[in-house]
Structure 1
Amino acid sequence: MLVRRSGLALLALAVFTGPVLAGCESEGAGEATETEESAADLLERAKQTLDDSESVHFVLSSEGAPTTGTVLVGGEGDMARPASFDGTLQVLALGSTLDLEVVSVDGTVYAQLPFTSGFTEIEPEQFGFGDPGELMDRETGISQLLAEAQSAELGEERRVDGEVVREVTAELPGDLVEQILDSADPSQPVQARFSIAPDSGEPRRAELTGPFFEAGEDATYTLELSDFGADVEITAPTTG
């Protein structure tokens, strides 16, 4: 989007929205012209930032989850490359929400099940989720939500915990979201609202709305990311 602004407006834009391409002076008009970073470019930069990070902390929450079935409804933990996770996942099962301590290392997933004192190797699909250690995979993990976003548009700027973030709205293929989270109807697209820190390029929040739990009924997953590149070491627990 091409915009004409005064020098004062350019200074304000640099302070509040982050990097802007250098402008050039219009002939005879004495005005500057600059190009704002597009929604697609901001998403691409956010994906690259996430893919370059060796670790990240996440918090997952949901709205509109059912009261029956076995589904993932929330969680919190640390992800680290190449393929590990350590945290707590909230799973709806048998009408109750269970907090499962989960560790995943190199394709093997362990959980501390209710009424047990140690970890057991599990098949995560039985509990309504996939291998959380794969979420940072550069080809199939959560960064694909940024890479495959369609019809992206720049939204508002706002402050979150003192940091300026820029919103980007987009549409995601339902079959892609099914592979990363879940979907009761992969043929239906999912609406996404991303919040990205324009200075660092770090994706801070992804709010996804679609038929996650029941076809024809929208629900929302909200994923919040922080602590990019923190020193995280995850090892397989002792089982028995």
Structure 2
Amino acid sequence: MRSPGARHTRGSSMLGVVGLAALVALAGCSDDDGEESATSSAPPPTAQDRLEQAHGVLTDAGSVHLTMAGADLPEEESSYIISADGSGTMDPPAFDGTITAVVAGVQADIPTVALDGQLFVKLPYVPAHVNTDPEELGVPDPATLFDRESGLVSLLTQTDDPQFGERSRAGAEVVQQVVGTLPGEIVTALLYAGDAESSFDVTYGLVEESWQVRSVEITGPFYPPTTSTYTVTLDQYGEPVTVTEP
């Protein structure tokens, strides 16, 4: 006959085995759940996702300040834009600022207002703005840059084969580059220059967290056979802008 102590020891051993088995089972379930959770988690955003996100941010802003600068521009051209600085609205598309351009072979800083399909410029030695046709000057209507359907913002969703580029810090901002190409006909329609049959390289600088488009750099045959670059910088998202006819 076994003593009560022996029965107690055997019972404790059995309870220990059962408890150990339960812990192993729970551990197995936990590992399975972790693997399943990791497998089912959403993939990281692609470059295309970030461009679409930036498109929404810029569209929702409604207004923005813009600077544009050209590089490697052909001096033999008689009419082309060198740079621009101004603010614009998207509803309706409008611009108020200064465009530095070569017009009929003469370089000038031209105060410019564009709205409602009209372009008003203050040419050198002219005391007031005059209403003129962009095609006559050989320059684009700057208001179109702010158009939600066909302006700068539209390039984001028409970029071919977007890929992540470099990631860097610019002051307090962390900027993620997205690189790709743009069809020539889109670029020429927007900037009124370029070979519509060629493709253009584009690099976007997107500010992480806010996903504002801080810069758009477009390189290609704006004035064939020369390869030129226009860099647009955008800031002051959503700040009040009023554009009125001069």
Q: Report whether the alignment pairs 1:148 with 2:154.
A: no
- Rounded to whole Å, the distance in 2 between the matches of 1:120 and 1:105 is 13
Identity of aligned residues (%): 31
Q: Report whether the alignment pairs 1:58 with 2:66.
A: yes
State TM-score, norm by structure 2.
Answer: 0.81
Q: Report whether the alignment pairs 1:160 with 2:170.
A: yes
Give the structure 1 partner of residue 234 of structure 2: 225
- Rounded to whole Å, the distance in 1 between the matches of 2:36 and 2:96 is 61
- Rounded to whole Å, the distance in 2 between the matches of 1:58 and 1:73 is 14
- Rounded to whole Å, the distance in 2 between the matches of 1:183 and 1:84 is 20
- Rounded to whole Å, the distance in 1 between the matches of 2:238 and 2:37 is 46
Counterpart AA for 1:208: I
**8 A contact 1:174–1:183 mirrored in 2:** no
Cα deviation, 1:148-169, whole Å, max 9, x if unaligned, reads: 0001001121111210111000
Q: Which has the larger radius of gyration?
A: 2
- Rounded to whole Å, the distance in 2 between the matches of 1:203 and 1:129 is 24
**8 A contact 2:182–2:200 mirrored in 1:** yes
Q: 1:35 aligns with which of 40, 43, 68?
A: 43
Structure 1 residues 26 and 33: alpha-carbon distance in aligned structure 2, compared to 1, 3 A threshold:
farther
Q: Report whether the alignment pairs 1:175 with 2:185.
A: yes
Q: 1:126 aligns with which of 136, 141, 147?
A: 136
Instruction: Within 5 Å, give how 1:66-145 maps onto structure 2.
Output: 66-68=74-76, 69-80=78-89, 81-145=91-155
Unaligned runs of 5+ in 2: 1-32
Give the structure 2 partner of residue 203 of structure 1: 213
Aligned residues: 213
**8 A contact 2:173–2:207 mirrored in 1:** yes
Alignment root-mean-square deviation, CA: 2.2
- Rounded to whole Å, the distance in 2 between the matches of 1:182 and 1:194 is 20
- Rounded to whole Å, the distance in 1 between the matches of 2:118 and 2:36 is 67
Give, in angstroms, the shift of residue 219 of structure 1.
0.6
- Rounded to whole Å, the distance in 2 between the matches of 1:38 and 1:100 is 41
Structure 1 residues 115 and 135: alpha-carbon distance in aligned structure 2, compared to 1, 3 A threshold:
same
- Rounded to whole Å, the distance in 1 between the matches of 2:61 and 2:36 is 46
Cα deviation, 1:104-146, whole Å, max 9, x if unaligned, reads: 1211110001001111001112222221112221111111111
**8 A contact 2:95–2:114 mirrored in 1:** yes
Give, in angstroms, the shift of residue 182 of structure 1.
3.4
- Rounded to whole Å, the distance in 2 between the matches of 1:111 and 1:176 is 26
Give, in angstroms, the shift of residue 236 of structure 1.
0.5
Counterpart AA for 1:169: V
Give the structure 2 partner of residue 19 of structure 1: none
